[in-house]
Structures are given as structure tokens and as C-alpha cells.
Amino acid sequence: MPSYKHQRPPEKEAIFLTKALAVISVSSPCADRKFGYKERNFYSFLAIACACYYPCDSDSNLLKQLLSLTNYTFRIVITMLRPRLWTPPHDAAATKRLPALIAQLQTRLQQIVRQHQHIKFASSLAVEDMVITDIIVREQLPIEVFTLNTGALNNETQNLLRAAYEHWGISIAEYRPNEEAIDAYVAAHGKQAFYDSVALRRECCHIRKIEPLGRALSKADAWITGQRREQSTTRTALALAEQDKAHGIAKYNPLADWLETEVWAYAQMQQLPVNELYRQGYPSIGCEPCTRPVKAGEDIRAGRWWWESQDSKECGLHK
């Protein structure tokens, strides 16, 4: 009677398959942070399964050949398979426009100071916010700078607080969410429930951002943001000045009409501290679980809450 015992492929084929799966699991778009944990887990499972299928001891040629895969070859394969990601723009024409834009921004901020007594600037530590912070410090304007530390930020974002202190000598106030509210949300819905629906995602944003913002603005009579019209379809009609009905105070968006190229031209000219994630393909950075890199040519907000439709991509801070 013929034997149907399964025969493993030759060792050479095993090496090829194992390397291929390892490269896919590490270098494919879905293996990058935020490119989809389900797909990443799938490829990781394949790689582990392959390793189990071809067990080897310390004397195995397979093990030795796998370990001999050089960084040079590995990087070439990664470069071939990875998509080209967004990078900070460079525009010589934008640099030429900066003197007029800077003077205009200084005037706008000075007018706000003349009209209000207690002004706060909500910095998300984005590059736009670094531009405004730089003008506030240079002009010595009486504007308090604060940020919302959601408890779910990337380490690279957290590091900017120290970088800001070293660059400007200022301490940016941090407002954090109520831990009891976070625990109650997790107990009721699960730790990653924000992926399940827009409503649950907005509830998470309310706990981590909107409620702390209310505390931050409790004694302010005006606040400033780094929003720009060009950032998303939900901001195309953004006004330079508006009334924040939710908090009953004035709200200003002094960079509303600035272009992305102009923001980066200023940051590069003044050598401002910026988030390291920008160099990893993140044009818009929020909480770590809700942000991913975007491909070159994609909408710059495509990496925020990427599982939702384009018209729902706001956290509720800016209504």
C-alpha cells in the first residue's frame, strides 16, 4: 500500500519560503505601525507557522543560512515592498512668502492679546502649533500654552514636551483625562472599542480630549488653535475668528489660511523641534491607536481614524 506520509520540501525551498514570509511580515504596509493589526498578526502567524514547519537544531544549515541574511539585502527588499510614504514638503516659493506671513501672524496674535484678558493656546504639539508657540515666545505675548495629554500618545509626541522646554525654556501645561472615566469606558466597552463604531470612538475622544479641554479653558476668555483650512474637508470654511458656543468664549485660528508648505518652511527656517513621526510618514498625529502613516499623495488626514469615512474625522474639539 502506498505511503501518503507528507514530505517536506527541500531545505533550499524552506529557506526561500521562510525568508519571504519574514520579509512580508516585517516590511509590508500592514506591518507598519497602524497599518492594520489584523493583517500584521496574519503575516506573523504565517512566519511562525513556517518556522514550526521547518524545525532546526543548532547544527542545521537552514538555521545558519537564515541567520546569515545581511542587513543590506534585507533593506533592499524592504525598500522594494514598502509604499512611498508622505514626507514633509519643501517649497522655495513658500520660503519667499514667509516675511509677509510672519508679520501678518504677529499682528493677528497681538490683536487677540489686546482684545482679551486671559488667553490660552491649545497646542497638539503639531508643527503648526510649534510655529505659533515660536511667535508667542519671540514676541513675549501673555498667552498660556497647554496641551492635552490623552494618555494614549506616541512616545515621540511625549518627547516634544522636553524638546519644547530645551528650545524655548517654557513648560507646556498638561491636562489629562479622568482615570476613573477611562476605566469605566474600558469596563463597559473594551479597551479598543473605539474601532467598533463612530459613536464609541467619539465617546473615547470625549473622555480623553473634550472633558480635559473644558477644564483647561475654564478660566479663559479666548483660546487659540493651530487649525488650517487645507488640513481636511471638514475645515475648508474655517474662520480666522469664531465664537466657541460650547465654552462661551472667543476662538481664534490664526493659521487658517496658511499652506502646509508655508508651515514647514517656517519650521525649517527657525529649526523648530518637531515630532519624529513626521519623518516616518505621519503628516497628522493624534493618539497612537488612532493614527497611522499615509502614502505619498494621500490626504494628509487619511491616517487619522482611517477606518472611518472622511466626513467623520474630527474628535469633537472643534465644532
Set 205, 287, 290, 315: catalytic member? 315
315 is catalytic: yes
Are 46 and 25 contacting, i.e. CB atoms less than 8 angstroms apart? yes
Do residues 240 and 205 touch, judged by C-beta distance below 8 A?
A: no
- Please write down the HEC assignment for all residues of the chain: CCCCCCCCCCHHHHHHHHHHHHHHHHHCHHHCCCCCHHHHHHHHHHHHHHHHHCCCCCCCHHHHHHHCCCHHHHHHHHHHHCCCECCCCCCHHHHHHHHHHHHHHHHHHHHHHHHCCCEEEECCCCHHHHHHHHHHHHCCCCEEEEEECCCCECHHHHHHHHHHHHHHCCCCEEECCCHHHHHHHHHHHCCCHHHCCHHHHHHHHHHHHHHHHHHHCCCCCEEECCCCHHHCHHHCCCCCEEEECCCCEEEECCCCCCCHHHHHHHHHHHCCCCCHHHHHCCCCCCEHHHECCCECCCCCCCCECCCCCHHHCCCCCCC
* Residues annotated as part of the active site: 315
